[in-house]
């Protein structure tokens, strides 16, 4: 490790790795510092019973040639090496409800998506066409989403609620619930802006894939590319403080006692934690207060299920189940008796995937207040003895309740299961480093649009932010956030010109 770099990136989540790669390509001497054993943040994978599980990446959209994420990954030089598996074209997502045996499909490609919905809701043909056009129109208003130079936001778009728009095109509650059936992708609520829904779902409609053997391949490829461009990355280097000289940020200090100097710093660390370390060192009190008051999105409880050999067939789509179609945006307000109000199921894909599944992930909402009894513990190892028998009992009880719900959809699943592992909001907090284990950064509110729009720039001139808590979460959203961060360092027009030139070169 050198004593001085041009840029130090704190945290190796996707936002940090993409930022590091962009700046290394631009000729900067870059160093990435990661506190954990594994690079990648939400890209991390883990192995149980010799099966690979994703921590946070279950499927990804926009990866067909010419689509936005394909273009960004082509620029980064990782697209050709990604091992991906395309989901069912006719039903990449299946939406179901209690008391209704019908399965409703989301299909890939706007033409197929439209025709599939019309078959299911022929009386809503006009609304379906209007909805698809609206999604695409909204996405076209975000420049970096389309690899363009513009930066202005239309406040009318930012302040439009999902619920208000859907109510304007239809009064069919079931139809509207199907349109937003995958809303746990962004933890949608009654006040969620329509643009969050549109940006989340558009790329999946365009194309939907799973990563073969997990999404950690992205972080491995990005680390490899970073090193090819002269960058460096170090694990077990938890940043615990910032160093200043004459009121200027000049270094970061790690738990191991290292001090690493740089001209520019990018924090891929949770903004709340970053601000906590800096609130007396140059940040405005109003900014600190704003960050402290922003509410994180809800966390989750997940079952990581491994199957016996040749016992459960692989399913090439995702299941979203919601108990009550009329309360799809109120699932986070569950009670102890009603939990879980819904869930998402996704399967792992292994190399040479054929008929039989090896593993499955089932996710549902869980508020952090359910685990506050253990919030002062910290754990990033498989054994959780520090949290004690009460925590183990809590998870076992929740697992049984959740599994009984899943059995209603898959009656014979229990006999096919080899083992079940779990994660709670504490797991998300400890492994990923998110406030209260938030799955998707900060809550977006159409009634207060700019409150959670965070700029990558801070009042400390050489400190920038990146990651899912800035504007949008997800693989595409975080990639775009990193591009936005770097554009403040190298210039947007220059950066977008470089990105488009490299894409054109690779596509030629």
The model's pLDDT over 227-250, given as tens digits with 9 standing for 90+, comes to 999 999 999 999 999 999 988 999
Cα–Cα distances in angstroms (integers) from residue 82 to residues 73, 218, 233, 325, 461, in the given order: 9, 7, 21, 37, 36
What is the C-alpha separation between 414 and 403, in angstroms, rounded? 8
pLDDT number for residue 280: 81
- Six-digit token pair at 442? 């900060």
CA distances in angstroms from 391 to 361, 373, 375, 384, 405, listed in the order given = 21, 9, 11, 9, 21
The one-character DSSP state at 336 is: T
Sequence-distant (6+) residues with CB within 8 A of 305 are 359, 360, 361, 362, 413, 417, 419, 420
Q: Tell me the whole-structure pTM to 2 decimals.
A: 0.95
Euclidean distance between the first and the last CA atom of the chain, given in angstroms as a whole number: 38
Instruction: Kindly state the tokens that stand for 262.
Output: 């740089």
Question: How many DSSP H helices and E strands does the chain contain?
Answer: 16, 19
Residue identified by tokens 């030089």 is 77
**Interstrand relation of 417-423 and 299-307 (parallel, antiparallel or unpaired):** antiparallel
- Residue scoring higher pLDDT (28 or 427): 28
* 51-82 confidence digits (pLDDT tens): 999 988 999 999 999 999 999 999 999 999 99
- Measured CA angle at 401 (ends 397, 406), to 5 deg: 140
Name the nearest CA neighbour of 95 among 422, 278, 342: 342
Is the pLDDT confidence value at 466 over 70? yes
Express as a percent the part of the chain with pLDDT over 90: 79
Question: 430 or 362, which is more confident?
Answer: 362
User: Above 70 in pLDDT, residue 391?
Assistant: yes
How far, CA to CA in Å, does 331 sit from each of 254, 322, 362, 490? Answer: 40, 8, 16, 43
pLDDT at 379: 75
pLDDT at 473: 86
385 pLDDT higher than 70: no
pLDDT by residue (tens digit) across 338-348?
Answer: 999 999 999 99
Interior/surface letters 162-198, b for 16+ CB within 10 angstroms, e for the rest? bbebbeebbebebbbbbbbbbbbbbbbbebbbbbbbb
CA dihedral 66, 69, 74, 78 (to 10 degrees): -140
- Could you tell me the CA-to-CA distances from 291 to 242, 273, 328, 394, 482 in Å, in that order? 18, 10, 29, 32, 19
Mean pLDDT of 113-119: 98
Domain 4-43+65-83+212-295+444-507 CATH (choose: 3.40.309.10, 3.50.50.60, 3.40.50.300, 3.30.870.10): 3.50.50.60
Give 460's pLDDT tier (boundaries 50, 70, 90): very high
At residue 259, φ and ψ (nearest 5 deg) are -120, 120
Dihedral Cα 299, 301, 306, 311, nearest 10 deg: -110
So what's the pLDDT on residue 285?
A: 87
Which residues does 508 contact at the CB level (< 8 Å), separation at least 6?
A: none
**Quick one: pLDDT at residue 471?**
78
As given in the structure block, the two tokens for residue 191 are 């006040």
Residue 490 vs residue 153, higher pLDDT: 490
- What is the structure's pLDDT at 123? 98
Average pLDDT over every residue of 106-110 = 98
Mean pLDDT across 328-334 = 93
| Phi, psi dihedral angles at 375 (to 5 degrees) | -70, -20
pLDDT band for position 177 (cuts 50, 70, 90): very high
Q: What stretches of 281-341 adopt beta strand conformation (E)?
A: 299-307, 318-322
> 214: number of CA atoms within 13 Å, CB side?
23
């Amino acid at each position: 490790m050198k004593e001085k770099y041009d840029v130090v990136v704190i945290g190796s989540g996707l936002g940090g790795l993409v930022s590091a790669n962009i700046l290394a390509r631009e000729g900067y001497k870059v160093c990435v510092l990661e506190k954990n054993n594994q690079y990648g943040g939400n890209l991390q994978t883990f192995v149980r019973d010799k099966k690979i599980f994703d921590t946070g990446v279950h499927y990804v959209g926009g990866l067909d040639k010419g689509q936005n994420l394909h273009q960004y990954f082509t620029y980064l030089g990782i697209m050709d090496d990604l091992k991906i598996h395309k989901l069912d074209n006719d039903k990449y997502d299946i939406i179901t409800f209690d008391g209704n045996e019908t399965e409703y499909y989301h299909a890939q490609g706007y033409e197929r998506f439209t025709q599939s919905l019309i078959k299911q809701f022929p009386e809503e043909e006009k609304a379906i066409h209007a909805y698809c056009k609206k999604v695409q129109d909204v996405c076209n208003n975000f420049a970096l989403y389309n690899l363009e130079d513009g930066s202005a936001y239309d406040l009318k778009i930012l302040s439009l609620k999902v619920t208000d728009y859907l109510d304007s095109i239809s009064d069919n509650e079931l139809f509207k619930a199907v349109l937003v059936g995958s809303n746990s992708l962004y933890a949608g609520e009654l006040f969620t802006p329509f643009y969050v829904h549109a940006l989340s779902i558009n790329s999946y409609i365009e194309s939907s894939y799973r990563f073969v053997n997990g999404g950690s391949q992205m972080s491995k490829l990005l680390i490899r590319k970073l090193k090819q461009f002269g960058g460096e990355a170090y694990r077990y280097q938890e940043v615990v403080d910032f160093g200043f000289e004459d009121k200027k940020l000049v270094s970061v200090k790690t738990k191991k006692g290292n001090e690493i100097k740089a001209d520019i710093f990018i924090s891929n660390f949770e903004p709340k934690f970053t601000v906590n370390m800096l609130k007396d060192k140059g940040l405005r009190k109003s900014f600190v207060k704003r960050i402290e008051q922003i509410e994180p999105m809800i966390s989750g409880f997940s079952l990581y299920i491994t199957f016996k050999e040749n016992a459960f067939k692989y399913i090439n789509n995702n299941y979203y189940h919601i108990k009550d179609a009329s309360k799809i945006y109120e699932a986070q307000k569950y009670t102890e008796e009603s939990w879980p109000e819904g869930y998402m199921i996704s399967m792992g894909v292994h190399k040479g995937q054929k008929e039989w599944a090896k593993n499955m992930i089932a996710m549902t909402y869980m508020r952090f207040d359910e685990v506050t009894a253990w919030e002062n513990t910290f754990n990033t190892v498989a054994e959780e003895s520090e949290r004690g028998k009460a925590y183990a009992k809590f998870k076992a009880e929740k697992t049984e309740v959740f599994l009984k719900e899943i059995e209603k959809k898959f009656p014979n699943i229990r006999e096919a299961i080899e083992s079940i592992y779990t994660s709670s909001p504490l797991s998300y907090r400890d492994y990923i480093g998110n406030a209260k284990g938030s799955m998707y950064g900060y809550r977006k509110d159409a009634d207060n649009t700019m409150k959670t729009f965070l700029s990558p720039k801070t009042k400390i001139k050489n400190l920038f932010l990146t990651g899912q808590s800035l504007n949008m979460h997800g693989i595409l959203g975080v990639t775009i956030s990193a591009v936005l961060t770097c554009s403040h360092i190298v210039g947007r027009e220059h950066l977008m010109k470089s990105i488009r030139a490299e894409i054109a070169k690779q596509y030629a």
